[in-house]
Structure 1
Amino acid sequence: MGKIKNNKKKQSRHNATGMQTNAEVEEALSLQPIPVETILPLIAKLSSPDANERAWAAAGASNLLMHDAGTRRLMLSKNLIGALVERLTDSVHEVVVEALGALRNLTVVGGDEVISEMYNKNVLTPVAALIPALGTMIDSMLSGPATNGSEQEKRKTVWDWADNVISIIWAMSENSEKALKFVNKLNIVPFLMSFMSNIDKVPPKVIVAAAQCIYTLTDDNPDCRAVFVKNTDYIKPFMNILTLDVDVEQELLIKTLACGIVINLRTVIAPKASENDFTDIHNAVLPVLSGALGYDLQKASVEAAAAAQVVNAQKQEPDLSKPNQPASTEEQALAAIETRLQTLQLALELIANICTESVEGVEEEEEEDWKDATGDDDEMEGDEDEDNLENGNQDDKKNDGLDESTMREMEQLAAASVETPMDLSSHPIINILISTVFPALINLATPTPLSFPEQIIPTPVTVAPEITAQLATTHLRAIEALNNFLLTMADAVPGKWWYKHRKADAEQCWTWLFQQAGAVAGKGVQVGAEEKGQEMRGAVLDAIVGCLWTLARGLDSNVPLSDFHVPALMGAYSSTASDSMRVKAIGCLGVIARRQGAIETNKVIGEFLINLLKSNPSAEACVEALNAIYDIYADAEFDYDMPVFVQGNFNHELKGMVKMTRFMARNIDRRKNRDLRTRADEAVMNLVEFIKYKEKERRQ
């Protein structure tokens, strides 16, 4: 049972221009590649003695890079990166600006391999060399107003230059550890802070780029954090941004990024706060983040589909004679929707992480208990125990049952559920989570007609693939945040207050999750969710099953069960290739099976788990199924123990699995997967003890 941890590195990067941010989705547009006869002369002109031709070629390359994946691969094969890097030291300013734009576009659509190639071709050195002169120009611009039209145009060029420089540094820092180490040595924070300290004088797109860069640099990066420790005044602009009233997409993104930066720097802002307790910071950012969740995805999808139809009808081959074409009204509308969706994703991620911090300490303690229980020995103890089991030799002096952490979980849960006299709905953070965040998560997790491609093989091109990708990611982030909300309410809030005092909400959430699972699966997990182009269906389904598991734990197995729920969870296990989803389905079934007064349900789940173990499942599934059985049948007093476990001869079945499970555990490489090996060793050790415990239990 796990929380959703920080996942910002896995998100598609924000692009303030609204250009495509996911190369695989972009490739689905199926545009015809530009012929090599067009590309080769263009790349050759990057080295032309005529500065106008060099600038034109760089602008044309920037345009073509966004056209389709085939054209992009062809251009890269002709050493486009090397040619553009050379132009960064061009003597003509316009050429440098256009080359920067092309390289910036590559960081947006190129993917990790292209960014790695850019680093290997030393793109950061000439980019960094541009910063001093750029900083001087910007300082001059910020010191006084523009006086005429030509000066305004010059300033626009400088802002474009700054936007591209920062965006390249940011994208490479986010996707390459080597690049991050390089950037750490540049002392770039003062340059970036010059924008954040003058948000009323700098165009929003540049503020967005600077904030994105700082957000990435402050994420688990001690070198950058040290800069803020030495310059505590740098934190003030971000705290000021949190208080601004905004209503424009880019401004809202800036405000959300400021929240992320403040959270990243929480140990700098509140150095004396106890571990995992940053209540004041969370009180400051949570109202901003919850406010960012108020967006109608259903309406946005309708508007995006209408705008995309117009754009697709007008789509033409790029005109290299006019490489810099202004965006149409519909393209601007799509860009605004995409920006808003990316703001949502960031806000959801930050809310999920706030919830994570509140339960992190509990889970870390559990991990330490596991390590203490199993130690580091590579070979399992207990071969003698196995022989004793096979020979029927029971040693009463042996441990009578499982270790306390697994055998007494139900008692621990009960002890944690003592009713609290406090009305926790008045607590500022809990109140926002319950009253604002929870209903918003339900809305944002609900699919729209544009959220997933139709389930036809091969997957068809959607009307707005960029928006479809962003919608699906938004749904996934919402479900992940919901899971962490449910975990917080189960593990961090005293007495499981929400599950008791908002029981109707919890029960409705259970029913709603099954409805969403059906909508996302569509024609079925096997048919849709794991086919090419349908991967996001599988990811969202995985997250939904995780929420069901968490919710079942919070409700103490008293879930509003319908006839199809248990078969659906079994079907989720059987039809997916995802170990993560299998483990979550087993975990959820394990909690449901603990219900008293539901012997037939317990029998169905118990037999499912026994048959699952006999089928030689993956190590992850095997460990989860064993632990589920230990919890379900931990006590002979449970009303289902005699009619199901005893009369079903489950203990005999488990005896026959000892060798198989020990073999499973020993085949896990401790060096490659230490956590799984530790859990597997513990599960196998507990299997031996559990069998003896159950045999002795009814003799007493």
Structure 2
Amino acid sequence: MGKARRSRGRGNRADPIAKPVKLPSDPELLKVRETTILPVLNALKNPDPKSRTGAAGAIANIVQDARCRKLLLREQVVTLILSETLTDSSIDSRAAGWKVLTVLAEEEAPDFCVHLHRLDVLTAIEHASKTILETLTATEPAFSKLHKAQQRVVWDITSSLVTILGLLALARNEILAAIVGNQTILRLLFRLAATDIAPQELYEEAMSCLTTLSEDNIQLGQAVTSDQETRCFDVLLKLASGTDLKAVLSCGVLHNVFTSLSWLDHSPGPEGACDAVIVASLSRALEQVTPSNASSSHAGIAQLALEILASIGTDFQQTLEKGNRAPSGPAEPTGEWNGFDDGDADAMDVDAEPEADGEKEEPEGEGEDEDDEEDDNDSVTSDMEADIDLVTGEEGSGAADLNLPTLAGLIQEAVPQLIRLSNIPVNSEETLAIQSHALSALNNIAWTIACLEFAQGENAGIFNAWYPTAKKIWRKTIAPILEADSADLKLATQVTGLAWAVARTLNGETPADGTQHRKFISLYHASKHQSQQTESGQADSTEDQDPFQGLGVKCIGVLGSMARDPAPLEVNREVGVFLMTLLGGGETAAAQTAVPVAETVEVLNQLFDLYGDEEVPCDKEVFWKDGFLKHLEEFVPKMKALARGVDKRSQAELRTRADEASMNLARFVLYKKKYVPK
């Protein structure tokens, strides 16, 4: 008979899952833990409901303090709240519990929201949302008949839920998808957005949450438009016709819905639903902003409206890509320089006649979607082509002639307000923010149009509508800021980016006074001073910044665009010499090392565009008379070395574009040798 195993004298086994609390080493923190944290946590577990409610309220207050917050997290307060406080019979305890989670989600990193999601907080939010919906829609007693204190607690819980949902959605895409897939949560958000029962602050929170959820989300867009319980979509459309904060918030959600569902100018939703519907409302809201009220409550409305217009300006590129007709075919070969195709260097016989339909090297932000655009263009049906006749054939035809209502609204209604607000007197943080947002919106609209092809009459209707507007932007926004000689390099970077887009579209016909190009040359030198400060540790690290978005690159881009034919030869010469100097023409090798690779790439791209056509006057009078070819030929091996010096792994895009510029430079030199003027 086997012997019974002798007991080793162990007591009850400890919980194998529970993690031991790590005590703080700081004596002060240890004292706070003993005197403040542990007593309220113990009270939170007290059988007495009043004690639990008081403890939950106390934690909601002390969690605002960073030290207490860290200590509470050490004591696993989140698990305690989720498992006990949120299921407490006292609604006041539940409200305090949700408040604690809200503060933690707001103050801690996004990883905390991921942690909350893994603890199944969405189930708790769904349960609370269901209870709130039942309370709001109950008839006996009706919510409006409840005591003010009872209503306030319901709104407090609702506010916490909405805030946490917005933060969860921002943390990870899979969490956002889980929220959108929860019908109870969506019902609560739609009811808050479509009815006027919620306090104004809670309404704003709900709309902000819906804006976050609806961005690039077709499922949420479909849910909004198909909601029959509150008819949320119809309510938002009606609200958007106003000029107050509710109207602007509604426009933000509607813009996301239109974009996600591809309700564009050429394929609108029911009753012409597309961004054109909200551009007019946003413009009217901006009309209410004056220098005298820009620092008041109007500031928030203005900034939000400007942000939405900036988003519309960017997203309108999708409309143009999907609606623009495909090219009819390649042009006849000519002797004109038309840039480079994307092919291998060996694919081009430099002695053969150059292709007239080759693609030019594009500045940053311009050529990224060309392949997709060509695919979309090829798939456009003949029915759609009939709907998008953009070429009016009449000189000076206006925006109203376009079959693009959103673009017409941007040009006729939004841009005048953006120009006005870009010149608002800056005397406070609010007015500075308004000016910055106005410039961003103008920049996005201008670059969307600058990315279009206008050669050989393509998109002539858009060009005719935009041309006078672009000149007005230059005269009324760009020129005044340049003349002010502000020391604000952030403002200078914004204005220079906008100037590049405008000058690129006007193609040498910028309404400059013959000296403004020197302002951008001065700005370029100022950007070098800024770079030196950064390298010496006086500014934040720029490792993660796009090297093609710096002020130096933008100055080079706008200078090259301003100097294109038919610009005056004097301007072309000054710009050309400046660009050649950056390549080391007439300078020592040491001077060239001070020019970043991204700027060198942009210099070459601008030189290709400036002197690629031997028929324009500047080719003979500047390029050849000033001996540019000799310096470019000498720079070919230097550019190869610069390109090889860029790390492919850490700076993949920079290396790719440097390699392309190096290859194109060699081909450009061979091309120019072939067409030496007689």
For normalisation by structure 2, the TM-score amounts to 0.71
User: Are 1:404 and 2:400 an aligned pair?
Assistant: no
Alignment-derived partner of residue 573 in structure 2: 603
Alignment-derived partner of residue 331 in structure 1: none
Alignment-derived partner of residue 94 in structure 1: 92
1:289 is matched by which residue type in structure 2? L
Stretches of structure 2 that go unaligned for 5 or more consecutive residues are 1-27, 44-50, 331-337, 364-389, 453-458, 532-546, 585-591
1:261-272 to 2 correspondences below 5 Å: 261-267=256-262
Question: Relative to 1, partners in 2 of residues 1:471 and 1:46: Cα closer, same or farther, differing over 3 Å?
Answer: farther
Deviation, structure 1 residue 161:
0.8
Question: Relative to 1, partners in 2 of residues 1:123 and 1:302: Cα closer, same or farther, differing over 3 Å?
Answer: same
Q: Contact 1:55–1:98 at 8 Å: present in 2 too?
A: yes
For normalisation by structure 1, the TM-score amounts to 0.69
Question: Relative to 1, partners in 2 of residues 1:665 and 1:77: Cα closer, same or farther, differing over 3 Å?
Answer: farther
Q: Deviations over 1:220-241 (max 9, x none)?
A: 2355457569x46489422332
Identity among equivalent pairs (%): 21
Q: Contact 1:407–1:634 at 8 Å: present in 2 too?
A: no
Deviation, structure 1 residue 583:
2.0
Aligned equivalents of 2:228 and 2:189: distance in 1? 10
1:293-312 to 2 correspondences below 5 Å: 293-296=286-289, 298-303=291-296
Q: Contact 2:280–2:414 at 8 Å: present in 1 too?
A: no
Q: Deviations over 1:510-552 (max 9, x none)?
A: xx32323565x73353xxxxxxxxxxxx2x4322111111111
Equivalent residue for 1:130, pick from 100, 121, 125:
125
1:469-508 to 2 correspondences below 5 Å: 471-487=431-447, 491=452, 494=461, 496-501=463-468, 505-508=472-475
Aligned equivalents of 2:272 and 2:101: distance in 1? 41
Question: Relative to 1, partners in 2 of residues 1:277 and 1:402: Cα closer, same or farther, differing over 3 Å?
Answer: farther
Equivalent residue for 2:420, pick from 443, 460, 475:
443
Aligned equivalents of 1:235 and 1:650: distance in 2? 69
Give the secondary-structure state (helix, strand or coil) at the position aligned to 2:661: helix
Give the secondary-structure state (helix, strand or coil) at the position aligned to 1:281: coil
Alignment-derived partner of residue 620 in structure 2: 642
Equivalent residue for 2:610, pick from 632, 639, 647:
632
Equivalent residue for 2:478, pick from 513, 516, 528:
513
Q: Contact 1:345–1:477 at 8 Å: present in 2 too?
A: yes
Q: Contact 1:441–1:478 at 8 Å: present in 2 too?
A: yes
Equivalent residue for 1:240, pick from 235, 238, 262:
235
Aligned equivalents of 1:115 and 1:76: distance in 2? 16
Aligned equivalents of 2:439 and 2:192: distance in 1? 32
Alignment-derived partner of residue 156 in structure 1: 152
Aligned equivalents of 2:229 and 2:351: distance in 1? 65
Aligned equivalents of 1:104 and 1:668: distance in 2? 46
Question: Relative to 1, partners in 2 of residues 1:199 and 1:175: Cα closer, same or farther, differing over 3 Å?
Answer: same
Question: Relative to 1, partners in 2 of residues 1:436 and 1:351: Cα closer, same or farther, differing over 3 Å?
Answer: same
Q: Deviations over 1:50-101 (max 9, x none)?
A: 3244233233236xx3xxxxx5377436637942553244124323322423
Q: Deviations over 1:316-349 (max 9, x none)?
A: xxxxxxxxxxxxxxxxxxxx45642453344333
Q: Contact 1:85–1:126 at 8 Å: present in 2 too?
A: no
User: Are 1:180 and 2:176 an aligned pair?
Assistant: yes
Q: Contact 1:46–1:84 at 8 Å: present in 2 too?
A: no
Stretches of structure 1 that go unaligned for 5 or more consecutive residues are 1-34, 66-70, 304-335, 386-394, 410-414, 452-467, 526-537
Deviation, structure 1 residue 590:
0.5
Equivalent residue for 2:312, pick from 351, 360, 384:
351
Aligned equivalents of 1:132 and 1:658: distance in 2? 68
- Say what the alpha-carbon RMSD is for the aligned residues: 4.3
Q: Contact 1:197–1:237 at 8 Å: present in 2 too?
A: yes
Question: Relative to 1, partners in 2 of residues 1:668 and 1:438: Cα closer, same or farther, differing over 3 Å?
Answer: same
User: Are 1:574 and 2:525 an aligned pair?
Assistant: yes
Equivalent residue for 2:247, pick from 252, 272, 278:
252
Aligned equivalents of 1:478 and 1:198: distance in 2? 30
User: Are 1:289 and 2:282 an aligned pair?
Assistant: yes
2:60 is matched by which residue type in structure 1? A
Structure number with greater CO (CA < 8 Å, separation at least 6) is: 1
Q: Deviations over 1:368-388 (max 9, x none)?
A: x9999436xxxx756x99xxx
Aligned equivalents of 1:37 and 1:341: distance in 2? 48
2:201 is matched by which residue type in structure 1? K
Aligned equivalents of 1:363 and 1:685: distance in 2? 31
Deviation, structure 1 residue 444:
2.7
Aligned equivalents of 1:694 and 1:100: distance in 2? 71
Question: Relative to 1, partners in 2 of residues 1:114 and 1:42: Cα closer, same or farther, differing over 3 Å?
Answer: farther
Question: Relative to 1, partners in 2 of residues 1:238 and 1:82: Cα closer, same or farther, differing over 3 Å?
Answer: farther
Deviation, structure 1 residue 301:
4.7
Question: Relative to 1, partners in 2 of residues 1:418 and 1:433: Cα closer, same or farther, differing over 3 Å?
Answer: same
Question: Relative to 1, partners in 2 of residues 1:124 and 1:282: Cα closer, same or farther, differing over 3 Å?
Answer: farther
Shifted more, 201-210 versus 38-47: the winner is 38-47
Aligned equivalents of 1:38 and 1:364: distance in 2? 73
Equivalent residue for 1:555, pick from 500, 506, 528:
506
Aligned equivalents of 2:277 and 2:653: distance in 1? 36
- Report the count of equivalent residues: 567
Question: Relative to 1, partners in 2 of residues 1:100 and 1:248: Cα closer, same or farther, differing over 3 Å?
Answer: farther
